[in-house]
Amino acid sequence: MSPKPVQRLEKTLARVAREQGVDQERLRRWISFLALCGVLERAVGLHLLESYYLKGGVAMELRFAAAARATKDLDLGLKGNRIARMQAFEKTLRLGFDEFAFRLKPKVRQMDMADTVRAEVAIQYRTRAWQTIEVDLGPAGTEEIDLVHPAVPGLVEMNLAVPSPVRCLGINEQVAQKLHACTGPAAAGRARDILDILLLETLGKLDRKRVQSAAKRIFKQRNTHAFPPTFELPVAWGPELEILARDLEFPITTAAEIEERFRAILIGIIEG
């Protein structure tokens, strides 16, 4: 495959985004995320990394593309403490992937409460800047990993090397973590987790028994509140949820409907 000139790639990006009905910058981010997956896979193959997995919004987007909410940063699970994760990630980026090169910017944020390091990665395609994205390097546990074939549209038309499958946090594990986050004492700002869980239920991807098993373990490990949790939709979440639901073309769009459906899902998970 001969590499595309950068200017032609930009024109192809605009054309494919238009043809696929996808926001151009969102398609650009998907390509950035997949390029990073490519270099992570290289590192695993060369034994620089034991493994990795994507989590958070990016894992949802690569599974379900435009059906999932858009996100701008990449959440990554890696083995080791924060120093070891950062060192391994920096070595990994030096490998490059296809015509993409990566540079770790000096700005780093230590997120002590989440045991996470937030880094900025500048991505270059051939000789020109492509995009800068934030990457959160969080701890990897013994969670289940799914091998996911990206559902991103337009990749064939872009004629870029794309890693497939990529490693994502197991979907039932991810639902359990979201359930813990949006029902706990630190739930402020977690309204989006409600929509993510509703999306998975709508798509028929929710295995209630396996989510229950994962949730019991996660709630016990994190020890912030008990399982089964109680839930009452915060009033402040209503407008955000309604906007997200309309953007994602959900069959239900009012805060009352969303709360009712989420309560039903929660009961289903509790009962298994």
Average pLDDT along the chain, 272 residues, taken 10 residues at a time? 66 94 95 97 95 94 94 95 96 96 94 90 94 96 89 90 94 95 92 94 92 95 94 94 93 95 95 87
Packing angle, helices 191-202 and 171-183, rounded to 10: 140
pTM of the model: 0.91
Assigned domain for 1 exists: no
Phi, psi (deg, nearest 5) at residue 43:
-65, -40
Q: Are residues 178 and 165 in the same domain?
A: no
With H, G, I as helix, E, B as strand and everything else as coil, classify residue 104. Answer: strand
Domain count, the chain: 2
Q: Are residues 159 and 34 in the same domain?
A: yes
Q: Are residues 128 and 263 in the same domain?
A: no
Assigned domain for 250 exists: yes
Q: Are residues 152 and 263 in the same domain?
A: no
pLDDT at 5: 65
Q: Are residues 163 and 179 in the same domain?
A: no
pLDDT at 141: 82
Assigned domain for 141 exists: yes
Question: From CA 84, how far away is CA 156, in angstroms rounded?
Answer: 36
Q: Are residues 29 and 98 in the same domain?
A: yes
Assigned domain for 137 exists: yes
Side-chain half-sphere CA neighbours of 48 within 13 A: 17
Q: Are residues 10 and 113 in the same domain?
A: yes
User: Residue 164: which CATH number?
Assistant: 3.30.460
> In which domain, by residue range, is 221 found?
172-271
Question: From CA 215, how far away is CA 175, in angstroms rounded?
Answer: 8
With H, G, I as helix, E, B as strand and everything else as coil, classify residue 207. Answer: coil
Assigned domain for 97 exists: yes
| End residue of a domain, out of 140, 169, 198 | 169
Q: Are residues 138 and 49 in the same domain?
A: yes
| End residue of a domain, out of 130, 153, 169 | 169
Assigned domain for 146 exists: yes
Q: Are residues 159 and 199 in the same domain?
A: no
pLDDT at 8: 85
Packing angle, helices 56-64 and 171-183, rounded to 10: 130
Assigned domain for 180 exists: yes
Q: Are residues 146 and 192 in the same domain?
A: no
Strand order of the β-sheet with 73-78 is 100-111, 116-125, 128-139, 73-78, 53-55, 166-169, 145-148
| End residue of a domain, out of 169, 197, 229 | 169
Assigned domain for 85 exists: yes
With H, G, I as helix, E, B as strand and everything else as coil, classify residue 239. Answer: helix
Q: Are residues 64 and 113 in the same domain?
A: yes
Q: Are residues 201 and 150 in the same domain?
A: no
CB-CB neighbours of 214 under 10 Å: 24
Strand pairing report for 73-78 and 128-139: parallel
